[in-house]
């Protein structure tokens, strides 16, 4: 848990520092070059700092220990923050798409930017690429959907700047200034699509689903590896932030004592925690061999092919 929180904080600090440097550079150069577009891009980087501050604040909430109102802890704060970020990304993509469509319909004259503005755009692309790759790496290390979503946001910023350069290339080579607006509009659609995909993943988690289906197979393998345990069923895995809660029923010899059955359940729990990363809790319900429960709640079992 502490390693997870440290990684989120590290990713937040890197994002804040990198975006602050890029924002200040673009705003200063934009004023020097007389390019309001570059100044606006710098202000957009300041909004990325706000997102990074949100991830940092989320890490502080996650670090709070469980309490009476939140016995499972506060890890779901990360899921909530990711959904907010998805809406923010969707809004930015929609704003880009609408503004480009308006410019296309208005036939607004294309103005060539100052060469200095072009150079700073290239620097911005490189800087955003480095930040995005760093965030992706740290997000995967921590299993943090929030950091990965922030990385996708930076990747979108990089694509937007790249579309500007490609559009300039079409202006210089083919004298077709409308291409940059079309590309920017298409990227706006792509950004909205990215946001929808992030949000769908979050909804899946809120609905107690898990994307990694191999988790069930690994749980069943842990039971098979435990002497005295049989027929794992009513198995349910749900995600809380970056952590997993496993709940399953296991059958044992009905003549065993409570202490003996408890030791088997404890070995199952230990094996699951050793074979699957980021396990928050494992609940093993012991039943006698051949036990049948009517109207039992749904859960997964190896009989379904796992």
Lowest pLDDT segment from 158-172, 204-218, 245-259: 158-172
pLDDT at 41 over 90: no
pLDDT at 55 over 70: yes
CA distances to 103, 176, 187, 219 from 109, rounded to whole Å, are 9, 11, 21, 62
Q: Which long-range contacts (CB under 8 A, 24 or more apart) does 133-139 make?
A: 134/11, 134/14, 134/18, 135/11, 135/14, 135/15, 138/7, 138/8, 138/10, 138/11, 138/14, 139/11
pLDDT at 255 over 80: yes
pLDDT at 173 over 80: no
pLDDT at 162 over 90: no
Hey, what domains does the chain have and what are their CATH numbers? 2-206 (1.20.1510.10), 214-304 (3.30.70.1350)
Task: State how far the Cα of 103 lies from the Cα of 179, in Å rounded to an integer.
Answer: 12
Query: CA angle, 153 as apex, 185 and 86 as ends, to 5°?
Result: 90
pTM for the predicted model, two decimal places = 0.80
């Amino acid at each position: 848990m502490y390693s997870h929180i440290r990684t989120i904080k590290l990713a937040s600090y890197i994002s804040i520092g990198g975006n602050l440097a890029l924002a200040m550079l673009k705003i200063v150069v934009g004023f020097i070059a007389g390019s309001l577009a570059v100044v606006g891009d710098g202000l957009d980087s300041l909004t990325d700092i706000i997102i990074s501050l949100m991830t940092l604040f989320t890490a502080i909430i996650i670090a709070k220990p469980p309490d009476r109102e939140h016995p499972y802890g506060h890890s779901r704060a990360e899921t909530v923050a990711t959904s907010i970020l998805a809406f923010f990304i969707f809004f930015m993509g929609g704003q880009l798409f609408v503004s480009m469509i308006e410019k296309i319909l208005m036939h607004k004259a294309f103005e060539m930017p100052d060469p200095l503005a072009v150079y700073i755009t290239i620097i911005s692309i490189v800087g955003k690429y480095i930040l995005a790759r760093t965030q992706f790496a740290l997000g995967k290390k921590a299993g943090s959907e929030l950091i990965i979503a922030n990385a996708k946001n930076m990747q979108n910023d990089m694509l937007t700047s790249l579309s500007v350069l490609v559009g300039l290339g079409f202006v210089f080579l083919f004298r077709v200034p409308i291409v940059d607006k079309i590309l920017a509009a298409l990227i706006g659609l792509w950004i909205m699509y990215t946001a929808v995909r992030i949000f769908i993943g979050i909804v899946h988690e809120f609905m107690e689903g898990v994307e990694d289906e191999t988790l069930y197979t690994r749980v069943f393998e842990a039971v098979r590896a435990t002497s005295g345990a049989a027929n794992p069923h009513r198995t349910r895995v749900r995600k809380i932030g970056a952590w997993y809660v496993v709940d399953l029923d296991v059958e044992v010899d009905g003549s065993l004592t409570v202490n003996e059955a408890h030791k088997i359940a404890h070995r199952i729990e230990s094996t699951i925690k050793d074979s699957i990363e980021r396990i928050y809790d494992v609940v093993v319900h012991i039943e006698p061999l051949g036990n049948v429960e009517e109207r039992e709640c749904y859960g997964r079992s190896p009989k379904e092919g796992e």
